[in-house]
Structure 1
Amino acid sequence: VGGAEMEEVLKPAFAVSGEPNFSRGPPGDAMEYLRRVRHEASRLPQIVVSLIDSKRVKQQTRYMPRPKPAASCPAGFLPLPTWEDAATSHFTDFRQALVRRRLKCAPPSSSSSSSTEKLPGSADEQAWGAFCFGSTEHKGHPPLLRYVLRMDHVSTCSALRALRSRLTDNDPEKGFPEEAGQWAYALLAALEKPIDGQISSCLRELYRAFAAVRSKGVSSEDDVLLAKVNIILTIISRIFNQKVA
């Protein structure tokens, strides 16, 4: 930028007349302060070069580990694009139907709350894990519509994290529990967008877990289990854009 152009960019807001008087010590008023600011600015070069310490450039940055890739599988286990299109379309229709049903269903009144089965606290991941998948003392619950409709976004995220914990602790060679696949589909249908970073990470871990099942726990004759796994992987990849390479 030339001198004339710089003057155009740095137009003065108002005129400051006179020269600074440094013999009087600190500036006695605002105008004297502005005169000294203008004086200092006039002494600065138009181009300033920053000196770089070459030793700092050679320092190695903190190591960032690469994300764990998804387990590979035989090419015949991968779904065709047309199959993925159909699965995505059906899932999208189901999500929209669930939203419409939620809008129509009013929350239970206080008079009927006594007869309504109590759900875990929204943020209680451990309780949601026991509710959905059971514990040593109680059986889990299937993802019935009356449960899913009463789950808010926080509850859905807590249940998804519980599902992630359940699947990451599971041996992929044994497949996955039937209720895990059912809850995965229901929770993904109820999950609101956009999703935050924590849920994005959770979905990527779920993707790895289901990909591991497809790689190690599905036989070439088990078309039903393969379809269930591929549906969840397709939803995570296409609907929520969290595919793991």
Structure 2
Amino acid sequence: MQVPDDAVGRREEGEEEWDDEETYEGEEEYDESSDDELLPKALPIEGAPSFDDGPPTSAEEYLRQVRWEAKQLPKVVCAKINLRQFDDNRTKYVPRAGQVKAEEESLVTPSSHFPEQEWMEAFLSDFKELREALEASDWRAPRQVDQPSKLPHSRDVRAWECFCLGGKVDDAPSTEDGVEEQTASHGGNPPLVSTLATLDEVRTAALLQQMVKWVESAPSLSEQHAQWMFSLLCTLSTPIDASTAASLRALVRWCYKRRALAPSADPEVERCNILLAIAGRHFSQGGDVKIVAS
């Protein structure tokens, strides 16, 4: 379609002229000063602050300085977060279900490492009676236990690892009452009743989850690891939450691998079988893992 030459720049009668850049209704160029116009002023103060007179001597001068300092700040800020502080709470490796099953099937557990079905039933019966006896005795009552030694703060994971399993804490751990202790190196403490009685249901589950992480990073299942795991599992309240269930499943997988790789006469085999029976059978987190001899 050919446009007549005289059509350029021509408009209908009553039609307004337009510029090269169209401006829509309500559209304006951004101006930083417009922010002050959009927000209602609670305390309208005019004028600029005077910094030559020293600190503000009146409320008006104080508000002028506050307003001036606010305008110096950027409109968008980015917080600097140290991501390394989340390393202890991060799952390092999460294999897929198929990978877990393939890894388990590739392990060949010697037949001598499997417990008998009769032993499994007798042990689970004794373990259940032990938990019921603890619940009936009200063993957490302060009047029935000795006062424990000063425990680390509930959030000090490194100090708890040193307290339970031994080692050296680089920084002085703070106790529950805020008192800092001297850095020391020792072999850890056994899971005494006086210590376990100070842990409520939430702290017991949290310490158990942390204990599983320490076990997973250890080269083998030591007697001290097994004692703490057994004691915490005895006092663990039911029903368990999702995080605790996930930790028990991780414990089952780790014990299954360690049992398959341990020598026949190694006491670690018996420790793994005990934890497999508790976590896998009593708390029903074993899944398809083969725990007893078929």
Instruction: State the TM-score, normalized to the length of structure 2.
Output: 0.53
Q: Does 1:182 align with 2:230?
A: no
Q: Is the 8 A contact 1:203 1:242 kept in 2?
A: yes
Q: Report the CA distance between 1:76 and its aligned residue.
A: 2.7
Which amino acid in structure 2 is aligned with residue 88 of structure 1? Answer: L
Measured in 1, the distance between the counterparts of 2:198 and 2:280 equals 26
Equivalent in the alignment of 1:214: 259
Equivalent in the alignment of 2:73: none
Equivalent of residue 167 in structure 2, options 125, 135, 139: 135
Q: Secondary structure at the match of 1:180?
A: helix
User: Structure 2 stretches of 5 or more lacking a match?
Assistant: 1-94, 169-184, 290-294
Equivalent in the alignment of 2:100: 68
Equivalent in the alignment of 1:146: 194
Aligned residues: 173
Measured in 2, the distance between the counterparts of 1:201 and 1:105 equals 26
In terms of mean alpha carbon deviation, does 149-158 or 232-241 score higher? Answer: 149-158
Residues 194 and 127 from structure 1, CA distance in 2 versus in 1: closer, same or farther, beyond 3 angstroms? farther
Equivalent of residue 120 in structure 1, options 142, 145, 152: 152
Q: Report the CA distance between 1:129 and its aligned residue.
A: 2.2
Q: Report the CA distance between 1:156 and its aligned residue.
A: 1.2
Measured in 2, the distance between the counterparts of 1:234 and 1:161 equals 18
Measured in 2, the distance between the counterparts of 1:210 and 1:90 equals 21
Q: Report the CA distance between 1:79 and its aligned residue.
A: 1.3
For residues 119-162 of structure 1, the C-alpha deviation after alignment (integer angstroms, 9 at most, x for no partner) is: 23445544332221122234311011211222111221222122
Q: Is the 8 A contact 1:73 1:215 kept in 2?
A: yes
Q: Report the CA distance between 1:205 and its aligned residue.
A: 1.0
Q: Is the 8 A contact 2:165 2:188 kept in 1?
A: yes
Residues 152 and 77 from structure 1, CA distance in 2 versus in 1: closer, same or farther, beyond 3 angstroms? same
Q: Is the 8 A contact 2:148 2:195 kept in 1?
A: no
User: Structure 1 stretches of 5 or more lacking a match?
Assistant: 1-63
Equivalent of residue 206 in structure 2, options 158, 162, 171: 158
Measured in 2, the distance between the counterparts of 1:89 and 1:167 equals 26
Q: Does 1:230 align with 2:273?
A: yes
Measured in 1, the distance between the counterparts of 2:163 and 2:141 equals 23
Q: Secondary structure at the match of 1:192?
A: coil
Which amino acid in structure 2 is aligned with residue 68 of structure 1? Answer: V
Higher helix share: 1
Q: Report the CA distance between 1:203 and its aligned residue.
A: 0.6
Q: Which structure has the bigger radius of gyration? A: 2
Q: Does 1:91 align with 2:134?
A: no
Instruction: State the TM-score, normalized to the length of structure 1.
Output: 0.62
